[in-house]
Amino acid sequence: MSEEKSLNFIEEIIETDLNEGKYKSIITRFPPEPNGYLHIGHSKSICLNFGLAKKFGGGTNLRFDDTNPVTEDTEYVESIKEDIRWLGFEWSNEFYASDYFDTLFEYALKLINKGLAYVDDSTSEEIATLKGTPTEPGKDSIYRSRSIEENIHLFNEMKDGKYKDGEKVLRAKIDMSHTNMLMRDPIIYRIKHAHHHRTGDKWCIYPMYDFAHGQSDSIENITHSICTLEFIPHRELYDWLIEKLEIFPSHQYEFARLNMTYTVMSKRKLLQLVNDGHVSGWDDPRMPTISGFRRKGYTPLSIRNFCDKIGVAKRENLIDLSLLEFCLREDLNMTAKRVMSVLDPIKLIITNYEEDKTEMLTSENGPDETLGHRNIPFGRELWIEREDFMEEAAKKWFRLAPDAMVRLKSAYIVKCESFEKDNDGNITAIHCTYIPESKSGQDTSGISVKGTIHWVSVKHAATAEVRLYDRLFKSENPAAEEGDFKEYMNPDSLHIIHNAFIEPSLLTANLEDRFQFIRKGYFCLDKDSTREKLVFNRTVTLKDAWSKEVKKG
């Protein structure tokens, strides 16, 4: 069996570059703009950039692309750093595009001096009109032929705050009839009298993305600058600027961004969900943000494995949420402690069990022996799951029903003798007898049953709030649907159970703990928990063969 995985196209490029001696080692970068929270799509980029450097021996810089002061904030800087660390990556350097504002200004001057940039007084409307369309060439601005001296003078005045926002811009002088719209004299500097989260009020002109990103890559000697597909048209400009500026030739490579079923991934849409109150915040467990997944109970390993499995290519994709859930369950199955919790309770009374007796039973904490064992109190009255009883047993029903036998997990086999109903026909209690010789671990009864159900002792049960999450959208691809994507939200994405019964061992749970509520799913403590009131989030359900059986009819 060969464990060798074939390289993705970027790894192939790097391997070739290294083999041919183009570089001795590589440097990558992760360049978020600090204007929002990171989402699962970013984790693909993070895993790629950091993973590449790790694989080929190199480093990865964290660089904040903070060239637009009006949208950016240190709140985002902090959350981004937290998320990257949580995912398990450490950057070699923490840089900011704003660190380079002085250098970038010099670069602009150099371009002007080469006759390759000019100050344009046109309004944004005029610039847009003159730009033409994809099918029609643009026209030169009347300011295009200004002298180098005048441009230098004007650009310095822009920097010195002589002009208001929008009055002037600096443009690269390339070709107004270029087939690539980005090469039609792109704006490289604009005036913004705005407070920057790091440089304060030092600057009132700020470089555009195209005059900051590639230059920052170059300053940091980034060998492989990896970004998403929509930046392909920028590459020509990226290369042009590096060539004219005569600086270190970083190279840009593009891969397809991650899309996932039943969610949206654009920052704009996520911001809308937060601002319109559809979710409680960026870290709402239903959000596809890293902080949302973290709060919901996802593990860093599961997300890294997911990013590894989805691969890297240039094709548009829509990844099944089920793959992420598979990676999650794969990890949690090995590590989560098994406990019992009854979410929708009904009382079970063992009529032949001593009235006030309490027995401490032991149960394994999981399939892996290293997880150890714990004691669970057992008594005459138990809470069991309402859905584990059927008045009239269905076909292939292994659980409780009149005259049927089941095992109570880690305890005894019981037989249902009768049940009580209220006036509305709701079942209120189930009466069973237990088989004393069937005690878990020392069963001499010789009886084997098909079903095992979970329970919590009525006398010893604690209560907790349990939040059950479902997908945020009903549509597989809400962004591609007609109309507003919010029309496709799932109205039942959150179901709160205010008083679930939990086994007493859960009272000492910590925020980092991961649990499997046996037969119900994986859960973790939410940060809303207090000592008086525990709150659990359902991380993900277990696979459920029975519900499929039911659907088949």
> What are the tokens at 421?
């109903």
Question: Measured between alpha carbons, how far is 285 from 2 in angstroms, rounded to an integer?
Answer: 39
User: Distance from first CA to last CA of the chain, Å, rounded?
Assistant: 42
Binding-site member from 310, 416, 468, 540 for RNA (CB under 7 A): 310
Cα 318 to Cα 254, 262, 292, 388, 430: the distances in Å are: 17, 10, 20, 37, 47
Stretch of 81-89, 203-211, 270-278, 418-426 contacting RNA, by CB under 7 A: 203-211
Stretch of 218-226, 436-444, 461-469, 493-501 contacting RNA, by CB under 7 A: 436-444
Residue found by looking up tokens 């009903």 in the block: 474
Binding-site member from 90, 94, 320, 391 for RNA (CB under 7 A): 320
CB count within 10 Å of CB 372 equals 10
* Residue 257 falls in the annotated catalytic set: yes
**Is residue 179 part of the contact set for RNA (CB under 7 A)?**
yes
Question: Measured between alpha carbons, how far is 172 from 166 in angstroms, rounded to an integer?
Answer: 17
Q: Is 453 helix (H, G, I), strand (E, B) or coil?
A: strand
Shortest spacing between CB 397 and RNA, in angstroms: 5
Residue ranges in 4-33 that form contacts with RNA under rule CB under 7 A: 6-9, 12, 31, 33
**Is residue 180 part of the contact set for RNA (CB under 7 A)?**
yes
Residue ranges in 264-303 that form contacts with RNA under rule CB under 7 A: none
Q: Is 515 helix (H, G, I), strand (E, B) or coil?
A: strand
- The two counts, helices (H) then strands (E), for the chain are 13, 25
Stretch of 48-56, 83-91, 124-132, 424-432 contacting RNA, by CB under 7 A: 124-132
* Residue 24 falls in the annotated catalytic set: no
Radius of gyration of the chain (CA): 31
Binding-site member from 117, 182, 273, 540 for RNA (CB under 7 A): 182
**Is residue 161 part of the contact set for RNA (CB under 7 A)?**
no
Stretch of 38-46, 61-69, 79-87, 151-159 contacting RNA, by CB under 7 A: 61-69
Stretch of 54-62, 347-355, 394-402, 463-471 contacting RNA, by CB under 7 A: 394-402
Binding-site member from 25, 145, 181, 418 for RNA (CB under 7 A): 181
Residue found by looking up tokens 């350097």 in the block: 93
Q: Is 108 helix (H, G, I), strand (E, B) or coil?
A: helix
> What are the tokens at 483?
């109309």
Stretch of 188-196, 271-279, 348-356, 417-425 contacting RNA, by CB under 7 A: 188-196
Binding-residue total with RNA (CB under 7 A): 95
Binding-site member from 78, 113, 313, 428 for RNA (CB under 7 A): 313
Question: Measured between alpha carbons, how far is 432 from 453 in angstroms, rounded to an integer?
Answer: 14
Residue 308 has phi, psi (to 5 degrees) of -70, -40
**Is residue 233 part of the contact set for RNA (CB under 7 A)?**
yes
CB closer to RNA, 28 vs 68: 68
Binding-site member from 311, 379, 402, 504 for RNA (CB under 7 A): 311
What is the residue-wise DSSP string for 406-441? EEETTS-EEEEEEEEE-TTS-EEEEEEEEEGGG-TT
The 8-class DSSP code of residue 473 comes to B
Residue ranges in 466-485 that form contacts with RNA under rule CB under 7 A: 480
Which amino acid is it at 150?
E
CB closer to RNA, 133 vs 275: 133
Shortest spacing between CB 148 and RNA, in angstroms: 21
CB closer to RNA, 374 vs 519: 519
Q: Which of 146, 173, 267, 538 is catalytic?
A: 267
> What are the tokens at 169?
């811009």
Q: Which of 257, 337, 474, 486 is catalytic?
A: 257
Question: Measured between alpha carbons, how far is 101 from 94 in angstroms, rounded to an integer?
Answer: 16
**Is residue 549 part of the contact set for RNA (CB under 7 A)?**
yes
* Residue 267 falls in the annotated catalytic set: yes
Q: Is 284 helix (H, G, I), strand (E, B) or coil?
A: coil
**Is residue 133 part of the contact set for RNA (CB under 7 A)?**
yes
Binding-site member from 73, 344, 381, 443 for RNA (CB under 7 A): 443
Cα 90 to Cα 61, 83, 303: the distances in Å are: 9, 11, 16
**Is residue 447 part of the contact set for RNA (CB under 7 A)?**
no
Question: Measured between alpha carbons, how far is 353 from 376 in angstroms, rounded to an integer?
Answer: 17
Residue ranges in 211-230 that form contacts with RNA under rule CB under 7 A: 212-213, 229-230
Active centre residues (catalytic): 33, 257, 267
